[in-house]
């Protein structure tokens, strides 16, 4: 069974204070690892897909990296508008898991002005 | 360029009533997924559908829940005889024809069972 664990559960940062969010996973053959952003009362917003260890992707102040066991979402010089819950999900190769996304519980990020 | 659309956004039902949740995928997407988010829990997969076909319903409760994606019109998630434990946010996602890869989510329907 695919599993995703995110840490920390919550993170408070001062504006401009860079940090990283962690996503540890176990999956029977990784098809893809996904990062989403979710604001209160809204649906998850797609950020990145990573497919293989060593891959990196960037978007504005966010950078996602992937190893064989975990992924990091690095936030550089965050702003208050970066406050949200960040979700990590995996999609595996085998059977039913090849369609469904398995999500972690998320990291709630608060950026204080 | 409309994204995934869900309605209603909020739904209140009394115990024993039926709830119908609708989802229209992004234009050009033919694959629909339903997820449920319970308070303090992560998103959980329920069902994956293509037009007129249920591909994977391994996450659906065995009773009271059903889903369809007809040839014409939106996908429907139906919950019969709702109970308080069904109160949750229900999200629909869609993807392009590959059926794998990133999924794009709608705003969700928040179901409250009184």
pLDDT by residue (tens digit) across B28-51? 888 999 999 998 788 999 999 999
What is the pLDDT confidence band of residue B98, given thresholds at 50, 70 and 90?
A: low
| Chain A to chain B Cβ contacts (< 8 Å) | 63
Q: Do A103 and B43 touch (CB under 8 A)?
A: yes
- Cα separation, B79 vs B67, in Å, equals 9
Average pLDDT for chain A: 94
φ, ψ of residue A97 in degrees (nearest 5) = -65, -15
Residues in contact with B73: Cβ distance below 8 Å, sequence separation at least 6, in sequence order:
none
CA distance A79 to chain B (A): 24
Q: What percentage of residues in chain A have a pLDDT greater than 70?
A: 96
Q: What is the pLDDT of residue B77?
A: 98
Q: Do A99 and B48 touch (CB under 8 A)?
A: yes
Residue B104 has pLDDT above 90, yes or no: yes
CA distance A113 to chain B (A): 27
What is the pLDDT confidence band of residue A95, given thresholds at 50, 70 and 90?
A: low
Q: What is the pLDDT of residues A38-90, one digit of tens each?
A: 999 999 999 999 999 999 999 999 999 999 999 999 999 999 999 999 999 99
Residue B87 has pLDDT above 60, yes or no: yes
Interface residue of B42, B92, B108 to substitute, partner A, most A CBs within 10 Å: B42
Chain A hits for B100, CB-CB cut-off 8 Å, are 31-32, 91, 98-99
Terminal alpha carbon distance of chain A: 41
A82 by DSSP, 3-state: which? Answer: helix
Residue A93 has pLDDT above 80, yes or no: no
Q: What is the pLDDT of residue A92?
A: 86
Chain B hits for A103, CB-CB cut-off 8 Å, are 35, 42-44
Q: What is the pLDDT of residue A1?
A: 83
What is the pLDDT confidence band of residue A29, given thresholds at 50, 70 and 90?
A: confident
Residue A97 has pLDDT above 90, yes or no: no
Q: Do B43 and A43 touch (CB under 8 A)?
A: no
What distance lies between CA A62 and its chain's CA centroid? Answer: 10
Q: What is the pLDDT of residue A96?
A: 57
Q: Between A9 and A94, whose confidence is greater?
A: A9
| Residue pair B47/B57 in contact by the 8 Å Cβ criterion | yes
| Own/partner long-range contacts of A48-57 (Cβ < 8 Å, ≥24 apart) | A49/B101, A49/B102
**Whether B95 contacts chain A with CB within 8 A:** no
């Amino acid at each position: 069974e695919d599993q995703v664990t995110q840490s920390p559960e919550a993170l408070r940062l001062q504006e401009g204070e860079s940090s990283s969010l962690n996503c540890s996973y176990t999956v029977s053959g990784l098809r893809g690892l996904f990062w989403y952003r979710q604001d209160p009362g809204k649906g998850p917003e797609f950020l990145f897909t990573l497919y293989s260890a060593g891959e990196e992707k960037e978007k504005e102040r966010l950078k996602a990296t992937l190893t064989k066991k975990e992924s990091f979402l690095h936030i550089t010089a965050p702003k208050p508008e970066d406050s949200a819950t960040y979700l990590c999900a995996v999609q595996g190769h085998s059977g039913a898991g090849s369609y469904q996304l398995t999500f972690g519980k998320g990291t709630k990020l608060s950026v204080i002005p | 360029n409309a994204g995934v659309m869900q309605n209603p956004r909020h739904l209140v039902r009394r115990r024993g009533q039926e709830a119908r949740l609708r989802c229209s995928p992004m234009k050009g997407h033919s694959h629909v997924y339903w997820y449920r988010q319970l308070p303090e829990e992560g998103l959980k997969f329920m069902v994956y559908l293509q037009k007129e076909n249920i591909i994977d319903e391994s996450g659906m409760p065995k009773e009271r829940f059903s889903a369809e994606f007809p040839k014409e019109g939106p996908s429907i998630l139906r919950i019969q005889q709702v109970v308080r434990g069904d109160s949750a946010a229900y999200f629909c996602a869609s993807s392009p024809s590959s059926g794998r890869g990133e999924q794009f989510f709608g705003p969700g329907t928040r179901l409250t069972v009184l």
